[in-house]
Amino acid sequence: LSFDTQATIRKAKHLIALYESHGIDRKRVLIKLAGTWEGIQAAKALEAEGIHCNMTLLFSLIQAAACGAVNAKLISPFVGRITDWYKAKLGSTWNDVNNGGANDPGVTSVKRIFHYYKHFGIATEIMGASFRNTSQILELAGCDLLTISPELLGELQKSTVAVEKKLNANNAASALASENIIQLKLDESHFRLQLNNDAMATEKLAEGIRNFCIDTEKLEALLSN
Catalytic residue positions?
32
- Give one DSSP letter per residue of 173-217, joined into a string: HHHHHHTT--PPP-SHHHHHHHHHH-HHHHHHHHHHHHHHHHHHH
* Closest C-alpha to 134, from 124, 115, 149: 149
Number of helices (H), then strands (E), in the chain: 11, 5
Contact 155, 138 (CB under 8 A): no
